[in-house]
Structure 1
């Protein structure tokens, strides 16, 4: 498949790029700054997300957004979602969004989200709240094919690539070790599994270590 990855050189984007290339897909990294060195067989589109057009993305089988708004500009999460929906409307391109864990529910009645709990760090609340708004917007969209994948509470840059994960929908998951965590490497595996074998179209879901 031909896969575009917005933010391909970021933390999560790096693992997504590696996983997609490992599986033999054609990958285009969509970045504002092209690095001097990069993975072999990785192509780049040097463009800001908000400047992307339908023509830029219409040939992709899937477009992954690993966009993360800068500090103090968190409302851009919603604006980015709106822009992606606008340029993908009417195409056959699947949108896969690297979501946040903050919007996952921590109760069985689905009334309280993680970022609304007392122990959630204040520094991360603006990002979590605005990413949640982006998800709410996406849920009401009918003219594109989308999937939103939330990681566990602890999203580990240096976690192991185990190749195993368990899947949930709207609630925060806990592993058999009592932890809510997923490595970025295993998260990338989950994203590519979903691209290759769609199971969660027009849905948000989440993954956690087993």
Structure 2
């Protein structure tokens, strides 16, 4: 399996590269600047400069792109519009490291986490932008995309436990009522889905159990 990781220099991107290499996958890091991941194969290009030919060799593309600058939040939509455009009609599977804000908290699927009173106001613009990015994907009928949301608490310093489960569009909690996942467990689960795909053109979520 040939796998490319966009934004491989980021916290999640570096972990995806490391874990994919541990599974003996053929991994290429796609980065704008000097590669800081463990990948030895590197494509140094900005996401908007990627072409269909650039991504054609890959079975799987993991998009770990994220931006927090208030002036650039719309790139959560525009980058996905670009990627779905150049992957349209191909067999390449596109996995997006998504957000939790758009997960639903009610059985009727009408209220999203980002719209609840408890959701931190500081993260509202980011969550709104990422939610609009998911909407872009849902219009991409000719792309094999999978949007992968973490639990509400996504812990960069948490340990790898191997104790996780998959869910769908609804926020899911463990037996103690927590919605938590470490980066390490999220990436492990993501690689399991990549190696043994069960989803296509849908959002899945991962939470610790």
TM-score tier by shorter-chain length is over 0.9
Question: Does residue 66 of the first structure (1) align with residue 68 of the second (2)?
Answer: no
- Which residue does 2:46 correspond to in 1? 48
- Which residue does 1:77 correspond to in 2? 76
1:9-32: CA deviation from partner (whole Å, max 9, x where unpaired): 101111111110110001111111
Q: Distance in 1 between matches of 2:133 and 2:37?
A: 30
- Which residue does 1:123 correspond to in 2? 122
Q: Distance in 1 between matches of 2:23 and 2:40?
A: 13
Q: Distance in 1 between matches of 2:37 and 2:88?
A: 31
Q: Give TM-score, length-normalised by structure 2.
A: 0.96
Alpha carbons 1:106, 1:171 under 8 Å: kept: yes
Alpha carbons 2:48, 2:79 under 8 Å: kept: yes
| Cα offset, 1:38, TM superposition | 4.2
CA RMSD in angstroms comes to 1.2
- Which residue does 2:103 correspond to in 1? 104
1:89-125: CA deviation from partner (whole Å, max 9, x where unpaired): 1221110000100000111111110111112112211
- Which residue does 1:197 correspond to in 2? 196
- Which residue does 2:32 correspond to in 1? 32
| Cα offset, 1:178, TM superposition | 2.1
Q: Distance in 2 between matches of 1:38 and 1:136?
A: 30
Alpha carbons 2:14, 2:37 under 8 Å: kept: no
- Which residue does 1:142 correspond to in 2? 141
Q: Distance in 2 between matches of 1:187 and 1:42?
A: 23
2:96 match: secondary structure:
strand
Provide runs of 4+ in structure 1 moved above 2 Å.
Answer: none
Q: Distance in 1 between matches of 2:101 and 2:114?
A: 5
- Which residue does 1:133 correspond to in 2? 132
| Cα offset, 1:179, TM superposition | 1.2
Q: Give TM-score, length-normalised by structure 1.
A: 0.95
User: Structure 2 regions of 5+ residues with no counterpart?
Assistant: none
Q: Distance in 2 between matches of 1:192 and 1:90?
A: 24
1:159-202: CA deviation from partner (whole Å, max 9, x where unpaired): 11112211111111111232111011111111111111111111
- Which residue does 2:8 correspond to in 1? 8
Q: Distance in 1 between matches of 2:86 and 2:67?
A: 19
Alpha carbons 1:34, 1:44 under 8 Å: kept: no
User: Structure 1 regions of 5+ residues with no counterpart?
Assistant: none
